[in-house]
Structure 1
């Protein structure tokens, strides 16, 4: 397999996947688009955004000494690591969601565009109506990263994104520890500090923070357009309450 000199390739190599897990199989786009469950919009998304797809590594008991995990709604028998090249940096989250849905394993995606990389993972739960299918509970995305990111926390995240910094208790613990690193990065975008000391799952707090920031933006837009003074005052009170809630969450994730 030819290894290209790209920032994405540097990040993948720095992760340090064991040689025993290397697969290097190119996945034809037709393999995905032939799926009868895809809508016409799904197929158009693949056509417009996806350039190429390579299944770089496969993590399972036959390739790495990490136990499988099966418990309740979680099923981690194998982790697929894919190198996803895209034609542009738009609609990549939608493409990642589609790939997570189509691949029947927990999936780690390294998305490659020019000299930038985005990393995507997703919690997948066993579908209670059909145990052969997995349902996405939550998707995690880093956003685009490149060599020009000046903030220290970006380089600290990339330094922490290594195989030997992940849990090997089980494939579930391994995958969850990578998700945790993405959450640490997301928290650092708010606090300015990459901290890997948090023991609790930051996902609920980060989701709440995102929702509150969206609400605050909406209220501020309403205030700009509002002409009634009493309504403006009420909206300002709401905005202050939301800002206080945002500050409290920031304090918790710091």
Structure 2
């Protein structure tokens, strides 16, 4: 885990027994089965807070962020990566960075957690961001640039929320890598890149829906109209990818 460059005072490296989580979190039988069958081990890597790195807590009506925790999850196989990430975020009320490890690869995941306005002892978890699995030790790769952008020395340290959201936004840029085979660490263009990536994702979803509708249609003329709409979306995606490459140069 050296590529994360944790400040020494934040490092914990302690195993978390699964039974401890089972007793503290209201997991369903399906979620317990997921832990048993898919997860080899869970470890608390690091805690970033006011004591460990002079990081001010952030309390508002919406957020209750006292610390950022880094959790290492050793997986048995690739199955249900998204479901595992969602369940792990549920297990910890604090903002968490998940390092999901399989063999020599890792995936990273974050999710903002907001105060439940109906029960302030609970949190509402946003849709998690989950990267693809990648080799974390390879130098001079786009993923190495991504890792470099989320080290503690590069992140905002105004307060706990600022640090976590900064890291979260960098992970939102990860789809840039499979699309362009590069990664931009230019903070000034990050929001623009995220907006383009969101637009590409929406068009990819639209193409999937159009293809499903095309299969259901019998009339040739309707199929051709859907085909033209698909081509229009594909053209828009290619234009957006070209724009992304320009922002990365």
TM-score range, shorter chain: 0.7 to 0.9
Cα shift at 1:196: 2.4
**2:176 aligned with 1:187:** yes
Aligned partners of 1:124, 1:150: CA distance in 2, in Å? 33
Partner of 1:83: 72
1:102 Cα deviation (Å)?
A: 1.6
Corresponding residue for 1:6? none
Say whether 1:138 aligns with 2:127: yes
Determine helix, strand or coil for the equivalent of 2:156: coil
User: Per the alignment, do residues 85 and 238 of structure 1 end up closer, same or farther by CA in structure 2, a change over 3 Å counting?
Assistant: same
Query: C-alpha offsets along residues 14-72 of structure 1, whole Å, 9 cap, x if unaligned?
Result: 21111111222211111122346211111111111111111111111111111111123
Structure 1: gaps (5+ residues): 1-11
Corresponding position of 1:56: 45
What does residue 8 of structure 1 align with?
none
Q: In 2 relative to 1, CA 196–248 (structure 1 residues): closer, same or farther, beyond 3 Å?
A: same
Of 78, 87, 91 in structure 2, the residue corresponding to residue 98 of structure 1 is 87
Is 1:29 aligned with 2:18?
yes
- State the superposition RMSD in angstroms: 2.5
> Residue 146 of structure 2 contacts residue 185 of structure 2 at CA under 8 Å; is this kept in 1?
no
Give distance in 1, aligned partners of 2:162 and 2:192. 13
2:152 equivalent to 1:163: yes
Tell me if the contact between 2:176 and 2:183 (Cα under 8 Å) persists in the aligned partners.
yes
Task: Give the equivalent residue in structure 2 for 1:215.
Answer: 206
Q: Which residue of 1 aligns with 2:222?
A: 231
C-alpha spacing 1:133/1:250, structure 2 compared with 1 (3 Å): farther
| Residue aligning to 1:153 | 142
Which shifted more, 209-218 or 176-185? 209-218
From 9, 12, 16, the counterpart of 1:20: 9
Measure, in 1, the Cα distance between the counterparts of 2:220 and 2:130. 41
CA distance in 2, matches of 1:24, 1:152: 27
Give 1:241's aligned residue: 232
Q: Which runs of 5+ in 2 are unaligned?
A: none
Q: What do the CA deviations read for 1:195-244 (whole angstroms, capped 9, x no partner)? A: 12224275565344223213213433554675521111221232133234
1:63 is paired with a residue whose SS is: helix
Matches of 2:193 and 2:27 in 1, distance apart? 33
Q: Is the 8 A contact 1:84 1:112 kept in 2?
A: yes
Do structure 1's residue 125 and structure 2's residue 114 form an aligned pair? yes
- The number of residue pairs the alignment matches comes to 243
Mapped contact 1:180–1:201 kept (Cα < 8 A): no
TM normalised by structure 2 equals 0.86
For residues 152-208 of structure 1, the C-alpha deviation after alignment (integer angstroms, 9 at most, x for no partner) is 422322333311111111111111111122122222332333112224275565344
